[in-house]
Amino acid sequence: MSMRILLLGLCCAGLLGWNTGTHASAESDPLVFDDIPLKDMVQHPDWFKDSFLDLQEDLAEAIQNGKKGIIVYFGQKRCPYCRQLMEVNFKQPDIVKYTRDNFDVVAIDIWSPEEVTDPAGSTMTQRDYALKMGTNFTPSPVFYDRDRKIALRLRGYYPPYQFRAALEYVAGGHYKREPFHVYLARGDSTLRFEADDMVEEEFFLPPPYNLDRSHFAAERPLAVFFEQGNCHACDILHTQLLRQPAIRKLFDSFESVQLNMHGQDPVITPDGRKLTAAQWARNLRVFYAPTLIFFDEKGQEIIRVDSVVHFFRLRNVLNFILTKGYLSHPSFQLWRSEENGR
């Protein structure tokens, strides 16, 4: 173990209470919490809209009240990531005020059989609506603008500063001019560190990065870690998740590569293109570090994790890939539902 990993591990020690069912550390670090399913149900803020789940009417009312649109919040009753959104992000006065000034928020339960009418006028169960919207990772806020179009969708939990950026991206109309990843990169004035500031792992493949699978299928699926230097969330990934024996063992069944999402290292992508790491990251619309993107043996993207992730969610994603659940189930969400029902 490198000295940097050791020091980072000491800094994070005690912050993450694996299997404790507590989340006291969230007050000091919104990225650090236990992702065991909750015993108690998530409580929504009382300012969420009390909706009859006709989103056409909800959107019309929001517009009438001078708002920029609605946020449809897809969540689960016992989702620890959803709790982070409620108890960290939505406990910050500036985020609450900005959200309420610009949007109405309507909550959807991704497993509910109750009906909802979407902004386009189609009626379906909340569960089918969640599947239609690809809400693999909750919370999944979907932003609808005044024209009933999707301005932005997020999958998973993001810390307050990035969630606030998403709110401003939509409320300020930036989505009409540029993708979210471009907006974030343009607004990021922080110093970007080089690749040697990133924490490496023994199982990462060394350069040159020839990931081409377009002509001959590989023997194992591929995991691409898009990271950057001076990245707190990346450090947590390495000092917490990747120190867990169960996670390390699962990654033994992958080919894994780490790329600097802003770097100029040459890469031959799974579909055979010659790009730099930064070009590939932009083409893939990567905006969060770390982002893990998984490809099958033939180079097709299976699933990506581009939000905060901890032990149980990552372990489930890895098992979904290794058991080839994606071949028999149209979504990770349905696969997880069947797994839980066994």
pLDDT of residue 338: 85
Structure tokens at 146: 């005044």
pLDDT of residue 15: 34
DSSP labels for 225-267? EEE-SS-HHHHHHHHTGGGSHHHHHHHTTSEEEEEETT---EE
Regions of the chain where pLDDT drops below 70: 1-27, 188-196, 341-342
pLDDT of residue 9: 39
Quickly name the fold that domain 195-341 has.
Glutaredoxin (3.40.30)
pLDDT of residue 88: 97
Q: Establish whether domains 40-187 and 195-341 are of one fold.
A: yes
pLDDT of residue 26: 42
Q: How many CB atoms lie within 10 A of CB 173?
A: 11
40-187: CATH architecture:
3-Layer(aba) Sandwich (3.40)
Dihedral (Cα; 318, 320, 322, 323), 10-degree rounding: 150
Note whether 303 and 320 are within 8 A (CB): yes
Structure tokens at 313: 């969610």
- For residues 102 and 120, what is the distance between their CA atoms, to the nearest angstrom? 21
Interaxial angle between packed helices 311-322 and 332-341, expressed in degrees from 0 to 180 and rounded to the nearest 10: 100
Residue 259 phi, psi dihedral angles, 5° rounding: -125, 140
3-state secondary structure of 20: coil
Domain boundary assignment for the chain: 40-187, 195-341
Structure tokens at 7: 């020091």
Residue 44 phi, psi dihedral angles, 5° rounding: -85, 150
The candidate with the shortest Cα–Cα distance to 49, out of 127, 113, 116, is 116
Token pair 């009417």 in the structure block, residue: 57
Helix (H) / strand (E) element for 278: namely helix 277-283
- For residues 281 and 101, what is the distance between their CA atoms, to the nearest angstrom? 34
Sequence-distant contacts of 232-235: CB under 8 A, at least 24 apart: 232/31, 233/31, 233/159, 233/288, 233/289, 233/290, 233/308, 234/198, 234/199, 234/289, 234/290, 235/8, 235/12, 235/199
